[in-house]
Each structure stands twice: as C-alpha cells, then as structure tokens.
Structure 1
Amino acid sequence: MYRTHNCGALRISDVGQEVVLSGWNQASRDFGGMTFVDLRDRYGITQLVFNIDDNKELAEKAQKLGREYVLRVEGVVRERSNKNPNRPTGDIEIEVRSMDILNGSKTPPFTIEDETDGGDDLRMKYRYLDIRRAPVRENLIFRSKLAIETRKYLSDNDFVEVETPNLIKSTPEGARDFVVPSRMNPGQFYALPQSPQTFKQLLMVAGMDRYFQIVKCFRDEDLRADRQPEFTQIDCEMAFVTRDEVLDTFEGLTKHLFKETLGIELPDFPKISYDEAMTRYGSDKPDTRFGMEFVEMNDFAKGQGFGVFDNSELVVGIVAKGIASEYSNKNLKELTEWMQRPQIGAKGLVYVKFNEDGSIKSTVGKFFDDEALVNWGNRMGATPGDIIFALSGEAEKTRKQLNELRLEMGRRLGLMDPKVFNPLWVVDFPLLEWDEESERFHAMHHPFTAPKKEDEQRMLTGDHETMKSLRADAYDLVINGVEIGGGSIRIHDRDLQSKNFDLLGFTKEEAEAQFGFLLGAFEYGAPPHGGIAFGFDRLCAVLNGQNSIRDFIAFPKNNQGRDIMIDAPAPVDQEQLKELHLDLDLENK
C-alpha cells in the first residue's frame, strides 16, 4: 500500500507504530550524519529522519532528494527530541527504514511555502503547484465545506436542486454574453448564462416551489479583484412567499454558514432602505463596521458667501475622530490629491481640523470664522482632536466621492477588522434608472423584478416622472461593504411584465422574440414568487477576510480574462471555423 496514515495524522500516542507514508518532499536538511525531510500531503507535514549510521545507502539516497520529489517511506514513529509546537505532528518523527522515489521533479519555479516568492502570473501559470501551498489548498477546502453546508441547509428547508441549461439564448439586458456558435444551425448562436434567472422562474410556474443550484455563470465584462468571467452562484427561488419570508430564509442560510464554518453566531440582520443607505453612507453596500456617517451640511454651510458651497446641490461631510494630531498639512495635502485622482474626480477637499489646544485650522478659514466652524463641529458631533472632511457638488456624485473617502479613512485608521462581520439587508431599491445618454430606462436589478405592491398601479398608469420614483421589491445582502447577494420578488403577471418591457425600451416584437416563452408561461397560472442569488466565490472571500476571489477558485483567469496555465483563449483551426460557418481570415483583417 502507499500509506497507512496521511502526513497530518500521527501524534505522540502513535510512538512505536510501523507506518507507511507517501507525499512530496517539502524541504530537506542535511547535517552530514543525519538528514531530515519534511514530507507533505494535503493533510499536513511529517518529519522523516535518515541516519547514516543505521543505513548508509538509504541516508545517501535521502541526501540527493530534490524538492517536490514524490516519495513513499516505511518506518517507525518515534518521539522528537526537538519538538515543533507550530505543527500538529511536531511531537513525533519517522525513523525511515525504506524509501521509494515514486517520481522526480524539476526545481519548482517558486517556493512551495505559505509565504512564497512567486508573483501572481507565475503562480497562475503553475497553478497545480500553487495549490500545493497550504493557504490556497485550505481556501479550496473551505470552499468545499461551504458548498456542503449550503446544500445541507437548503435541503433541510425543502429546496430541490435542479440543473438548468448552460447553452441558452442571448439577451440584451445586463452584461455582455459569451456566445457559442451552433454548427447545426448556421449563423445562429447560443449564449452562456449570466444567471439561470428565467429558468428558475419557469420552475416556479412548474410547481417546484423551492429550487436551488450552486451554478456556474458567465459574464463577458471587465475584470477586477472580485470579478471573473466565470463565477459561481448559490441560486435560489421560492413560490408563494413575501419579501420578508425570503429574507428570513436566507438570513438563516447565512447564519448557518457562519456558525458551521467559522463558529460565529451572527445577530439578526438590520434592514435599511436604499435611500437611507445612500443618505448615511453614499453607497448601496455600506460597510457598517465603523461609523463616520454622512452629515448633510446645506442648512449651516451654505449662504455664507462661499460660492463653491452656495452653488452646489449638496454639501456633505464626515467626522474622523481623534486624528488631528496625526494628520499634518502634508498628510492632508496628500489626501486631497488622492481624492482628486481621475478614479474619484473630486475638485478638492474641505477640511476643518479641531486641535487639542482649542485652535482650529481649515481650508475655508477665509470664508468662515471660528464661531461658524465651531457650529459645524457642534452640528456634526466633532470634538477637539477630530477632523471634519466635506465635499460639495451634484448630490449623487458627491455622495459617491465621499463614500470613497470614508472607506479610505476606514482603511487608513484600521477600522475594518476582518474578524468582525456586520451583515445587513438593503431594501426598496429604485425599480428603474434613467440613462440620459441612451434616453431610456434601465432595470436597476433585472427586467423581471416586481415593483412594490403599492407602486404597481403607478407603474401601469403613471407618466415618465412617476416611473423614476417607482420602488422595487428588491433586496441585497451586504456584509462588510461587500454585496454578497441580491434578489427580488418577481413579476408573475403577463401584463405587468409586458409593461416593464415597454418601459425598458423593448418593442412588442422584441419582447416576444426574447422572452415570449416566459410571457407565455405566465398565462398558465404563474404563482407569486421571489428569490435570491449569492456570489459564492465572493462569500468565500468575505468569510475569510480577503478581497480577491481568485484564491477561492481552483483555476482562475487573470485580469485580461486569460487562463495563462492552459493559454486560453486561443486561436481555432480554420477547419473548425468552417464547420461552425465562421470562415474568418483573421490574419488579413
């Protein structure tokens, strides 16, 4: 046999046992008469000992081992004289009696250690080696446990796992589709699903009542740390439910996952409206691990002869507590320049510094005397040692800019403890967004989201301005400033769904061509229904206090959407293109 135990199993109670272990040579240490080898597998590391006095041939063989050689050893467990308290197997070692080299190895391009010297691209090219490192391996094991616990909870709550198609029809809403040419239908294409949205609604029409799927989805969009072209969702739908019943069910799922994977008992999740989130934090996914909430300043900062404020739709600020002595003029200048970067686009940054000695320093001291600035402090809850930061301009844009500053100050001041988790529900989103450039409405979530019950009639009969104020029966789960999942109560009435397509700029013909199958299904007794989808990769990262989802995906793509390990995407042979009726001479185009 290759092993009687794995490399993480043996303890002091096993001393004297004859064992067989197999794994990789993590590291070798040669001390002349003694050679020590750290043998590693998925489960841990066990130290092997080769003594030249006991078996010269075997010891010399061990001295020649390269890193990552695959070994099988037989030996006896003995107590270590120099114990390693940082390793579960650190009380014992194996006195090796025989060893087989199962496979050699080239010298790895980076060290297979917790802290490696390999850069991102190098590790992604040799991902099969990177996964041997404990941090990446443990992330993938965590992901597996999270999936198992998800299935347990949903199964126990009467959800049925149903697979939906991966080759579907392209739709114009949302992100760009990945398209797949059909060989048997010349000139026609499938699309890879951005989500199983319409299929899970059809399952509710079909009477399945409670559906879930841990499903792969695809979006052809620009990438960043929390995006990949293919990603995984916990996708769910329920029939005959209200919004709060959906929220209770998936708050329960979230609490279950935290308890079973991290041992953390979460309190009940607060709910705040979209409007409240934007007013208090400038974001529909606020990080509530720290305060620094927005204070609107129009009524006490405008009308004092400072044109920048007086001519603005909104003046709004935050208070950073206890940092006045730490932030010099140089620090404040650097922060202002940070806000003026094109990514944020602030024209400047107003600050009022309340020093511990009672003095006040401000960028607007020429326009506001100390009495006025003290009033600012009183109105905003600032005390000696604090700094007020303020921005002004068009309301929506200014709130977004101040949100960036709030988050940056949270990072700089160490207020974002990765071991603290603050979940909340954001509810009552706008149903539609008006886009000035295209001069049409877009769905804030997706075209199948139902309006609030009290807004249904206004949606059917209201004018253009009324449509801007419609609220959706939609909700997002936010944890530590990250949108973990989102969903809504769905439209289940053909007339209301047709009206929504009208508002989104679909002609009757386009709506029928794209979604006629769903509209038709609504004519056969569609029940009220709603659901949610969690970003599974993102949930894994948040539970582990990490920003990037890459290390929770076995074989991720880079920022250009490439798999640099297998070198994909790649050109396709001209004969394949001909079969697909895509005879493209790419070199001459």
Structure 2
Amino acid sequence: MHAYRSHTCADLDKSNVGDTVRLAGWVHRVRDHGGVLFIDLRDHYGITQILCDSDSPAFSEVEKVRAEWCIRIDGSVKARDEGLVNAKIPTGEIEVYIRDMEVLGRAGELPLPVFGEQDYPEETRLRYRFLDLRRQGLHDNMVLRSDVVRDLRERMWDQKFNEFQTPIITASSPEGARDFLVPSRLHPGKFYALPQAPQQFKQLIMVSGFDKYFQIAPCFRDEDPRADRSPTDFYQLDMEMSFVTQQDVFNTIEPVMRGCFERFGGGRKVDQTFEQISYKDAALWYGTDKPDLRNPIRMQVVSEHFEGSGFAIFAKLLEQEGTEIRAIPAPKGGSRKFCDRMNKFAQEQGLPGMGYIFWREGENGLEAAGPLAKNIGPERTEAIRQQLGLEMGDAAFFLGGKPGDFEGVAGRARTVIGEELELTDKDRFAFCWIVDFPMYEKDDEGRIDFSHNPFSMPQGGMEALDGDPLEVLGYQYDLACNGYELISGAIRNHRPEIMFKAFEIAGYDEAEVRKRFGGMVNAFQYGAPPHGGCAAGIDRMVMLLAEEENIREVIMFPMNQRAEDLMMGAPSEPVNEQLRELHLRVIPREA
C-alpha cells in the first residue's frame, strides 16, 4: 500500500464497503459521542467521515488529535445506517473505521478556525494565509482560478494562438502607473523595472513575424489598492494579432470571454451580443466608462426643460458655458420617502443635493409632485416625463453643472437606484465594449497628456493630429462587465512618423521617444505590420465568477491594503551588504 494513502477523501462510496483503505489529510472537526469518536478527515478533494471506538487499537492515539492535525489512518470501509447518510458529500454513504493512525503533523492553537466560514479580521487572515486557504470557500476560489486559466489557454490555443513569455526584468516605460524599480548590481546607479504590462514586447513579437501571440502574463504596478485592484501585481490574459482591425480583435476575444463565463458562471445568463458604446455616450448614459448594463436605467440630458424656468438654480446654471442638466429615470421610485433618501445620498457624496420629480395619482389623474415640479410648472414636467418615458409611480432625479463635476456621483446614484428598486438583473453577465476613447486630455495644470494607451493609433491617422488634440479619438477600447473593466486594448500605432507626432502633442520630443522606446521605434522602421490586441484581467474575471466583492478573495497570496505581505514580511529592510553591492544608501524619512 502507498505510504500515505490508497484513496483521496472524495473517492470512497458504497462500492468500497469492506475494503481496507489508507487515507491522509487534516482533521476538519472532532465529535465525541461518549466513547465513539467521529472525525471529518479533509484533503484537497473532499471529506470522509472516520470513526474510532474503545475496541480499536488506535483509540488512545485518536483521542489526542485536535483540529487541523495532519494524520494518516488505516481502516475498513463501512456503510452508514440509512438514517445517517449525508447526501451533501460524495462520501456520505460510508465511513471508515480506524484501525491504525500516524500523526504526520501536529497543529498548535489555531489563530483562526478552518471549520466554518465565519468572518475574521483581514490582518489575521493574511498573516496566516496558509490556514485561511484551507477554508472551503477560499479553497474553491483558488481551484476556480486554476480552472479559468486552463480554460482561457485552451480557447486561445484552439484559435491558433502561440503562447510566448516576455521578460520580467525590463526598462521603465510610462504605462499610466508607477513602476517597481530594480537596482542593477552590474551597472551601479541604473535600474531595471518590473513590467507594468508586456506592451512593447508583444508589439515587437508582431514585428518579428508571429501572427497571433498570447500569454498569462504577470504585471507589476505600484498603485493604490482598491477592492477590485491589487496594489502590487496582477495577472492578465495578454494577446496581440497582426493585420487586424478593431472588430477583428472583438470577434476573436468575445467567444473566449463568453465561453469562459458560460462554463464557470454557475448558470447565470451570459450576453450573446456584446453592445458597442462610445466613451462619450457611456459617460452621458451611465456616468462611467465601465457601465453595469444589468441596470436598464439610462440618463438623459434635459437642459432645455430648465432654461428660463422658474427653478432659478438650474436656470442660472445653464447660463454658464459648458453646463447641462441630466435626469436619472427611476421607474417605480415614485415616493417622497425614496426621493428624500436619494437626495440624502447625493449630499453624502459631497453635492448640495439632488432635485427630483415623482408622478402620482392626483385629483385629475396623473400628477407631478416635488419641489422641482412646483417651480417649473406642469407643461415642463410633462415634457420631461414624456422624454424619459415615465409613468405613474415613477420618479426622476436631476443633477446639473459641468458634466465632469457630477458624472461620477450621477453614475453611483444610478447604481443605487437600480439596486434599491430591484431593477438590476443579478442573474446575468452583461458585457459591452466602450469604444472611441479620446486620445488626449488636459491634466490638472492644463497641459495636454495621453488619456489612455499612448501606443494607440489615432482614428484618421496623421491628419487627425493636425486639429484640436481634445477632439482626436483613438482606436482604443475596453470591455466592461457588470460594472467592472475586464479588458483594455487598442489597435497600435505602428507608423513611426505618426507616433512621433502623437507623442509631440503630449510633450515628448522625438529624442525623448527614441530614448524611452528605442527598441520599438527602431523595430518599426523595418516593416512593421498593422497590429492590435488587448488584455483581460484574470483576477477580476474570477472575482465576478466567484461572486466576490474583494479581489483578495481570488488571489492566492495577496497584499494587504498597505501593500504589505504580512505572512512573508515584505517589504523588508535590506542588509548593509546588499546595499553596498548595489551602491545604494537608504536615506531616513524626515520626521
């Protein structure tokens, strides 16, 4: 017999009754029934109930075991009494009577319980992640992640993509986040960088004549943490293709995403058609470039109904350049209590409030109510109702000013309204492409900078760059699902002369571009093909599939909110010998 096990803890069933078996695993829980000890023995695959009584030669040793001890047992398989069958587990019809036991690893007092899924402080969970990972929910998430990665690989292979690996140590490049720098021992004073993405390398792969590339790529960015973003590293399905248009990329990746979500989505509906929405329309309709289309609410501009109206706040606001009034329809939200609650929500978001109108039954039929309705009169309120397609029992909320100042709050309000009024379909994965991103934006100091991927081809090529930079659109695109950005990509700028012009507008002269991206610029002078691609965030995909709200629940060994690894003690202070080898000196932070 094998030194540790003849079967896993999920293998045995009624066909094994009478067999002598050997199992190994962890003591999940112990139950003492007056001289009979029942133990749930757990391994990676499942749970088997084992038992021991005073007649067993192993009884005295079995009495000593505690939760999470790692043990090996020999015993005989018995059928459970009919009334004691546990239909919830594959081994629920049998149990194993222990005849011999060996302790493989004792466990001290547990800092957190493995049995059960009760909440525990995140600091404790991350410090003892190896115990946390034994808990069933988190364990299942990691298996799901493994299955998703395998599925993605297989789908890419099926489409004739080649999997290549790109360097982990490379040069620093501006990708929109801070680099992690790595000092060079052989070149004192110089630094490598961990790649924020394989962006330049995958483009060079296309220049090298490989037609379809992908990899499951680690990416490193020194970012502030969020619930849906790791502060240090993440993994993405990275892909690139030659001789393709934007639609070709969509047609390639859509079946990969759709198939993966259908396979692992637990029966939830998956959109078969991925809607394409311009960045401008997404901001207007949803207040975000990663909209949740499970919520049917679309915001609309209603400025004309407030121009010169009796509602002085909005009327005067509209006299200012670049302002507008937007309405958030709220079907079934037509009660003063709900409207007051949403007004309070806006105040909690830092706005003075949020105007509203709701429609109810009055003496003469349908009646508009609320402070706004009284100020603008029945004709204007009726025009608003008809534009928004609302009926009795519905409401609408209004925000005004420069869109950039209130769009974020409007988007969050739309989400809250959809959830509170139960308009959002929770049993669905709703995908949409956001397209036509602006190439440039103004930073806080009024300078022109790239708004998205700097390596993207501008729509219209060189001619588009001769006009107003803020009007230039790029062949850039994101795929959103249920309010999260899952994919970002672009058709690349493979023409050196267009690239130099595009970077010049953002303040980088040709010499700076050659210095920063010399390898890629040099390659583009030797017959670069048109190419494009995208990258899908695996961590976020698994987070959605696992129905988790925090990305750390689907990462094996995540950092905490302060980008610390509490289990391994990172980041740590280097020893003096390491600093001398690297010709570095640590300057203490000023108090």
Task: Give SS of 2:100's match.
Answer: strand
TM-score using structure 2 length:
0.93
- Measured in 1, the distance between the counterparts of 2:185 and 2:582 equals 5
CA RMSD of aligned residues (A): 1.9
Task: Give SS of 1:150's match.
Answer: helix
Task: Give SS of 1:355's match.
Answer: strand
When residues 135 and 418 of structure 1 are mapped into structure 2, their CA distance, relative to the original with a 3 A threshold, is farther
Residue 415 (structure 1) shift: 4.1
Residue 416 (structure 1) shift: 4.1
Aligned residue-pair number: 576
Matched, 1:420 2:422: no
Q: 1:323 aligns with which of 316, 321, 333?
A: 333
CA contact (8 A) 2:333 2:358 kept: no
Task: Give SS of 2:259's match.
Answer: helix
- Measured in 1, the distance between the counterparts of 2:262 and 2:197 equals 28
Residue 404 (structure 1) shift: 1.0
CA contact (8 A) 2:30 2:67 kept: yes
TM-score using structure 1 length:
0.94
Aligned ranges 1:475-514 → 2 under 5 Å: 475-514=477-516
Deviates more, 1:268-277 or 1:532-541: 268-277
- Measured in 1, the distance between the counterparts of 2:340 and 2:487 equals 38
Deviates more, 1:493-502 or 1:80-89: 80-89
CA deviations over 1:285-314 (Å, ceiling 9, x no partner)? 111102111121112233213222111311
Matched, 1:306 2:308: no
Task: Give SS of 1:558's match.
Answer: coil
Residue 33 (structure 1) shift: 2.1
Q: 2:395 aligns with which of 383, 387, 401?
A: 387
- Measured in 2, the distance between the counterparts of 1:561 and 1:356 equals 55
Task: Give SS of 2:372's match.
Answer: coil
AA in 2 matched with 1:246: V
Identify the residue that residue 406 of structure 1 maps to in structure 2: 414
CA deviations over 1:73-108 (Å, ceiling 9, x no partner)? 111222222122222222211111211111110121
Matched, 1:447 2:454: yes
Aligned ranges 1:134-533 → 2 under 5 Å: 134-228=136-230, 229-262=232-265, 266-310=271-315, 311-312=317-318, 313-325=323-335, 328=337, 332-341=339-348, 344-355=349-360, 358=366, 360-435=368-443, 437-452=444-459, 455-462=460-467, 466-533=468-535
Identify the residue that residue 69 of structure 2 maps to in structure 1: 69
CA deviations over 1:548-568 (Å, ceiling 9, x no partner)? 211211100011111111121
Residue 195 (structure 1) shift: 0.5
- Measured in 2, the distance between the counterparts of 1:469 and 1:125 equals 50
- Measured in 2, the distance between the counterparts of 1:371 and 1:587 equals 65
When residues 131 and 32 of structure 1 are mapped into structure 2, their CA distance, relative to the original with a 3 A threshold, is same
Matched, 1:131 2:133: yes
Deviates more, 1:24-33 or 1:426-435: 426-435
Task: Give SS of 1:61's match.
Answer: helix
- Measured in 2, the distance between the counterparts of 1:108 and 1:63 equals 18
Query: Which runs of no fewer than 5 residues in structure 2 stay unpaired?
Result: none
Query: Which runs of no fewer than 5 residues in structure 1 stay unpaired?
Result: none
CA contact (8 A) 2:333 2:339 kept: no
Identify the residue that residue 571 of structure 2 maps to in structure 1: 569
Residue 371 (structure 1) shift: 5.0
Identity between Structure 1 and Structure 2 (%): 38
Task: Give SS of 2:68's match.
Answer: coil
- Measured in 2, the distance between the counterparts of 1:492 and 1:4 equals 59
Residue 150 (structure 1) shift: 1.2
AA in 2 matched with 1:251: E
Residue 263 (structure 1) shift: 6.8
Residue 438 (structure 1) shift: 3.2
Identify the residue that residue 79 of structure 1 maps to in structure 2: 79
CA contact (8 A) 1:314 1:395 kept: yes
- Measured in 2, the distance between the counterparts of 1:298 and 1:503 equals 34
Residue 249 (structure 1) shift: 0.3
- Measured in 1, the distance between the counterparts of 2:374 and 2:576 equals 71
CA deviations over 1:131-151 (Å, ceiling 9, x no partner)? 111111111111111111111
CA contact (8 A) 1:419 1:545 kept: no
When residues 263 and 333 of structure 1 are mapped into structure 2, their CA distance, relative to the original with a 3 A threshold, is closer
AA in 1 matched with 2:63: Q
When residues 46 and 217 of structure 1 are mapped into structure 2, their CA distance, relative to the original with a 3 A threshold, is same
Task: Give SS of 2:515's match.
Answer: helix
CA deviations over 1:451-489 (Å, ceiling 9, x no partner)? 12xx22433432xxx221111111111111111001010
- Measured in 1, the distance between the counterparts of 2:5 and 2:207 equals 53
